[in-house]
Amino acid sequence: MDKINDKLERARKLLEGDDLSLAELAGAVGLSASHLQRRFRAQFGLSPAEYSAQRKLELLKAALREGDDISGALYDAGYGSPSRVYEGGAVKLGMTPARYRAGGAGEAIRWSVIDTALGRALVAATERGICMVEVVASSGENAELEAKLRTEFPNANLERVDAGRDEFLAPRVRAVADALAGKRTQVPVDLLGTAFQKRVWDALMKIPAGQTRSYAEVAAGLGEPRATRAVASACAHNRIAVIVPCHRVIRGDGSLGGYRWGLPLKDRLLQREHAGRGNAA
């Protein structure tokens, strides 16, 4: 086992320094390509290709934040062309490199603060879907909620709109309010995260209301039985309360585990969904 782990760690370090194909990487560490693919994903939560893509993206982000020339940053990070970073592939920047370097300048995000069945909520959306739902149990300060939205895109075009007065945002706000009230509704989302985080969040949205999964069960369902901690981390980084139902993931012993919006709210949501399932039956 130790020898396998040593080979996996060597493979990871090779990916840190060079852009190798799966076959080249497997040959370098003395494993078959299929065995390396399976064991690498189990160990690190990503395939070698996804790991390499994530590494390049992180290098690019760091260079752009430092103010480096876009063409030079792309070349240094290992991208052959600008389109490769935000078109296709497993890991995406979500916007052009120029906009990311500018702190999201040019990215339009409309948002509103509303009162819901669960308390005060900030609802924000890009043109692709809801990108944040932040909930506070009390009335809360709107400035505090807005500050959380600005963390990801400090220079984005953040436009606050009154609920119901924007043809684009209004139906999305209503859908979120319905979801927070426990009603069944469809809410388009814009998931902003790493490849692995998106896989976790997609899996969470497939857990039926009234049911729960353990962190280990979610990891196993992704084909990553050793990625329990990575699943818990992805849940902790979920920005879309209730819509992406990380509250349905609990510890293996049945205890609640963690929750970004507080354990009382997690318990309340689970009890409400369990009661609703019983009534439906």
pLDDT digits (tens, 9 = 90+) for 30-58: 999 999 998 888 877 778 888 887 777 76
CA distances from 6 to 33, 66, 150, 230 (A): 16, 34, 41, 20
Mean pLDDT of the chain: 80
Q: Is residue 176 part of a domain?
A: yes
- Lowest-confidence region among 7-11, 15-19, 166-170: 15-19
Tell me, what's the pLDDT at 100?
Answer: 52
246 is catalytic: yes
CA 257 to chain centre: 19
For 70, list phi and psi in degrees, rounded to 5.
Answer: -60, -45
Q: Is residue 188 part of a domain?
A: no
Q: Does 13 share its domain with 84?
A: yes
Question: Of 46, 118, 246, 270, which residue is the catalytic one?
Answer: 246
pLDDT digits (tens, 9 = 90+) for 220-251: 999 888 889 999 999 998 989 999 999 999 99
Tell me, what's the pLDDT at 86?
Answer: 46
Q: What is the CATH number of the domain that holds 246?
A: 1.10.10.10
Q: Is residue 228 part of a domain?
A: yes
Q: Is residue 28 part of a domain?
A: yes
Tell me, what's the pLDDT at 161?
Answer: 87
Q: Is residue 88 part of a domain?
A: yes
Half-sphere exposure of 213 (CA within 13 A, CB side): 23
pLDDT digits (tens, 9 = 90+) for 54-112: 777 766 666 665 555 555 555 555 554 444 444 443 344 455 555 555 555 667 889 99
Q: What is the CATH number of the domain that holds 132?
A: 3.30.160.70
Last residue of a domain, one of 121, 149, 180: 180
Tokens 């600005």 found at: 150
How large a percentage of the chain has pLDDT more than 70?
77
Q: Is the pLDDT of residue 171 over 60?
A: yes
> How far apart are the two ends of the chain, measured CA to CA in Å?
48
- Lowest-confidence region among 63-72, 157-166, 210-219, 260-269: 63-72
Tell me, what's the pLDDT at 33?
Answer: 92
Q: Is residue 204 part of a domain?
A: yes
Q: Is residue 163 part of a domain?
A: yes
Please spell the DSSP secondary structure of the chain, one letter per residue. -HHHHHHHHHHHHHHHH----HHHHHHHHT--HHHHHHHHHHHHSS-HHHHHHHHHHHHHHHHHHTT--HHHHHHHHT-SSTHHHHSSSSS--SS-HHHHHTTSTT-EEEEEEEEETTEEEEEEEETTEEEEEEEESS---HHHHHHHHHTT-TTSEEEE--TTS-TTHHHHHHHHHHHHTT------B---S-HHHHHHHHHHTTSPTT--EEHHHHHHHTT-TT-HHHHHHHHHT--BTTTS-GGGEE-TTS-----TT-HHHHHHHHHHHHHHHHHH-
Q: Does 168 share its domain with 225?
A: no
Q: Does 166 share its domain with 202?
A: no
**Cα(185)–Cα(190) distance, rounded to whole angstroms?**
16
Q: Does 53 share its domain with 131?
A: no
Closest to 197 (Cα-Cα) out of 240, 158, 154, 155: 240
Q: Is the pLDDT of residue 203 over 90?
A: yes
Find the mean pLDDT for residues 193-200.
Answer: 81
Helices 22-29 and 48-65: crossing angle, nearest 10°?
110
Closest to 57 (Cα-Cα) out of 24, 244, 46: 46
List the domain range (segments joined by +) for residue 16.
2-101
Tell me, what's the pLDDT at 213?
Answer: 96
Q: Is residue 189 part of a domain?
A: no
Number of domains in the chain: 3
Q: Does 93 share its domain with 43?
A: yes
**Cα(169)–Cα(199) distance, rounded to whole angstroms?**
26
Tell me, what's the pLDDT at 91?
Answer: 40
Sequence letter at residue 163: A
Q: Does 137 share its domain with 80?
A: no
Last residue of a domain, one of 40, 67, 101: 101
List the Cα angle 63/67/68 in 5-degree steps: 55
CA 173 to chain centre: 20
